[in-house]
Structure 1
C-alpha cells in the first residue's frame, strides 16, 4: 500500500437496507468491511432469507460485536449468544436473531460482499 486510506461508516460506499436492519459497507485497502445494525425483532430467516434466496445464511462472517445480543444457530444445531466485546467466526449455514430490546451492531470483516443480496 503506497498511500494511506481512511473511511467512515457515517459516509459508507454502499448501504443495503432490509426489514429491521441495514448494512453500511466501506471499501478500503482492497477489502470490504460492513457495519450491520439489526433492530429488535430482526431475524435472518425472516428478514434476509427472502433476499438471499437460501435456507440459511451462506455468508461466512468474522465479526466484532459492538452492542446488543445476537443469538446464532448453526446448521448442525449449535446455538449460542454473541455478546458485546466478543469476536465470532461463523461458518456458512446459520440463522441468527436479535435477543432483547437493544439493537445489535456488529462490524464484519468477512462475508459482507454478498450479504443481503440475491444469490446467483
Structure 2
C-alpha cells in the first residue's frame, strides 16, 4: 500500500493568478486539489500556461466549496457547487462565481496547468 497526504503534495502548480493546484501522484493515479480563488477564470489564469483556446483536459471529481460555472465550447453552461460530482469533457472555459474560493478534488489533472 502507498499513501500520501494532499496537505503535503508532490507538486504545486500555481495559476497565473487566483489560486493553484496541489497534486499528489501514486503510481499511475493522480489527484489534484484545486483552489480557485475569487476572480479565477480558466481563459485568463490557465490558458497562458496551457496554450490552448479552451481547456482540453477531461476532469472527474467533486466540488467541496464555492461555486464555478463551466461553459462548454458549444455554449452550454452548468454551475457546480459543494457536493457536486462532475465529469467535464475537454473543450471548456470555467470561472469562479461569488466571493468564496471554489475547491475541487479532481482526478483529471495529470497534465492540467502544465505547459
Specify if TM > 0.5. Answer: yes
Q: Distance in 2 between matches of 1:30 and 1:80?
A: 30
Shift of 1:28: 1.9
Shift of 1:83: 1.0
- Equivalent of residue 9 in structure 2, options 8, 12, 33: 12
Shift of 1:29: 4.8
Q: Which runs of 5+ in 1 are unaligned?
A: none
Count of aligned pairs between the two proteins: 114
- Which ranges of 4 or more aligned residues in structure 1 deviate by more than 6 Å? none
- Equivalent of residue 25 in structure 1, options 23, 26, 33: 23
Q: Which residue of 2 aligns with 1:79?
A: 77
> TM-score, normalization: structure 2?
0.96
